[in-house]
Structure 1
């Protein structure tokens, strides 16, 4: 009854808090979509001109995704994870190329920014290659941001649920700096964690970047697959009032380096975290892991139980079969491998990590002795049945599956998420 009460209580809280939410984010996107359904199987190209102020520490890039008629995703690329893409303080043309998936519906594309700085975009263009081998330019609205934003179809957000007025970011059609015409898109951000004079620790041939906030018992926050430590922008202020919050960029993400000669696995990343804690003098810590970070926390609780006090795993799985759309991952892997582009190797490693790991069974979780809270949204990327079985396999674990919430609960409804986590930690 105690475990069931945890679920019911969390559901009740969700209906109260979710009505009013103010969300800070460590990234934003400005994008639009066009109908691509008549171009199945054709090559396409998205391009734009980019630059950023010399003092800008964050990233800016193009991104593109194809949404299919069955509500799944096809092609996806975000050049923020492309190490060969270097945006400077001079205008330069960047492009993303791919092939239109079968059953394609909409092509989403636009600007992506993460971290602090002033970022500029201009002269967007979308082209497809005809059967005759001729590149045809498709019509998009306000491609050079010359017209008023109220009259076009650009929106803030990267998922289908549009996000407007992201805290810490301002978006304008600005005449101060442009590639052509009279205006360009300007996106500005400040006071975002991840660029705040942190430190580096070398473990397993990579350098991990970290920042600490607050005092008290240590609370290590581990981000997800395509994230960096600033994914916890909505948690750091709240929890640093009660704990010494430790935020770290996992290998290949954020400011951390990557080792292309070593296969990326959750076992390796858990060992990274263990050695990292040793080097900064933390003998034992609470762990809050989101998505892949939750998986790393679980592996740590199995392999290094002496390091893990209480464990919170949000949106985690213990094998690839727990993912709702594993097929999409395999499609993306095939696309990257067939393109044989060196600049996509980090993307390939991240996709393979999710598609082939971890390789745990529910029985493996029986050895976990840390007090554990398993959290997920009922619209999570992880199957609800998988989440429940994880909870059942861990002795005295607690479970919160939250109605009308997604895999991005810590970002989309942080008040609810933070209160549930703090209540668990405070017991």
Structure 2
């Protein structure tokens, strides 16, 4: 009797359609680069930084916005956000040093150095002050700018950032969605980089930075004066929820926003919600 039941169960189960993945388990395609006539390489801070500029000079009070991507990625990941911001802002996207189409020098990766790259590009583009939207490493760089370059930063929308290494979950690289991102990033690196065969060394160098940085104290975070929103997805594969809440409670007057049914890649998984939150923070809309 039990054997007949099991045979029936497995036959029925085999005929059922596979359950669709939850949205937070998906990794939507990297957006195609948004076309612009203003793109190029800037020779600044000892390297060549690839950048693209969108939108006219700020209109209706809209400030310049710089979008900073996550580790291993490139500026193309911001395609959905560029389209939302460009009608009312001058928008700059850039490939961080050693990422995408940008080069690097012999100096080891570090968040202070990468923040200085942003300031150097701002100087080159004659941007005195800008709001920052950052994802993961880009969010950390945004907070670094708020700590060390206070006069150059307006608001900081820090998505999926951490301020100490213990804020990252152990074994994140084994998560299926995150592992798929690492593999995709490797193909994109090979297609874009001036050193296309050096991805493994690139990952090793970035991983060394991740193992050691950032390590900010409560006092450092409490010295931030820029308006900040700390944002994350409710299913982030990399950042511990308690750490996200700690950041929001430690940075003075910071907001906390948890996006539902989304992960470390919420800006791809639910760009409408992500963009609405981003615009609400930047423009009060």
What is the TM-score when the length of structure 2 is the normalising length? 0.76
8 Å CA contact 2:54–2:82 kept in 1: the answer is yes
Q: Secondary structure at the match of 2:260?
A: strand
1:182 alignment partner in structure 2: none
Work out which structure has the larger RCO, using CA pairs closer than 8 Å and 6 or more positions apart in sequence: 2
Question: Residues 303-342 of structure 1 correspond to what in structure 2 (within 5 A)?
Answer: 303-325=148-170
Report the Cα offset of residue 270 of structure 1. Answer: 0.6
8 Å CA contact 1:320–1:356 kept in 2: the answer is yes
2:101 alignment partner in structure 1: 255
8 Å CA contact 1:362–1:390 kept in 2: the answer is no
Distance 1:194 1:348, change over 3 A: farther
Report the Cα offset of residue 361 of structure 1. Answer: 2.1
1:277 aligned onto 2:111: no
1:208 aligned onto 2:49: yes
Distance 1:309 1:327, change over 3 A: closer
Structure 2 regions of 5+ residues with no counterpart? 1-20, 180-196
Please report the RMSD computed on the Cα atoms of aligned residues, expressed in angstroms: 2.6
Distance 1:328 1:210, change over 3 A: closer
Report the Cα offset of residue 344 of structure 1. Answer: 2.3
Of 192, 199, 212, 1:356 maps to 212
Of 249, 272, 276, 1:415 maps to 272
For residues 146-196 of structure 1, the C-alpha deviation after alignment (integer angstroms, 9 at most, x for no partner) is xxxxxxxxxxx9x994567x587xxxxxxxxxxxxxxxxxxxxxx524897
Report the Cα offset of residue 364 of structure 1. Answer: 1.2
Distance 1:397 1:163, change over 3 A: closer
Distance 1:251 1:195, change over 3 A: farther
Q: Secondary structure at the match of 2:123?
A: helix
Report the Cα offset of residue 403 of structure 1. Answer: 2.6
Question: Residues 2-401 of structure 1 correspond to what in structure 2 (within 5 A)?
Answer: 161=25, 166=29, 192-193=33-34, 198-215=39-56, 216=58, 217-259=63-105, 261-325=106-170, 344-380=200-236, 381-401=238-258
1:84 alignment partner in structure 2: none
Distance 1:160 1:401, change over 3 A: closer
8 Å CA contact 1:362–1:389 kept in 2: the answer is no
Distance 1:195 1:224, change over 3 A: farther
How many residue pairs are counted as aligned between the two chains?
Answer: 236
Q: Which has the larger radius of gyration?
A: 1
Which segments of structure 1 move beyond 3 Å, counting only runs of 4 or more? 159-164, 193-197, 326-329
For residues 235-279 of structure 1, the C-alpha deviation after alignment (integer angstroms, 9 at most, x for no partner) is 1111101111100111111110122x2110001101111111112
Cα distance in 2 for partners of 1:393, 1:264 equals 26
Report the Cα offset of residue 362 of structure 1. Answer: 2.8
8 Å CA contact 1:220–1:247 kept in 2: the answer is yes
Q: Secondary structure at the match of 1:317?
A: coil
Distance 1:384 1:211, change over 3 A: same
Q: Secondary structure at the match of 1:388?
A: helix
Instruction: Give 1 or 2: higher helix fraction.
Output: 2
Report the Cα offset of residue 404 of structure 1. Answer: 2.1
Cα distance in 1 for partners of 2:199, 2:259 equals 38
Structure 1 regions of 5+ residues with no counterpart? 1-156, 169-190, 333-340
8 Å CA contact 1:206–1:256 kept in 2: the answer is yes
8 Å CA contact 2:24–2:261 kept in 1: the answer is no
For residues 131-159 of structure 1, the C-alpha deviation after alignment (integer angstroms, 9 at most, x for no partner) is xxxxxxxxxxxxxxxxxxxxxxxxxx9x9
8 Å CA contact 1:320–1:326 kept in 2: the answer is no
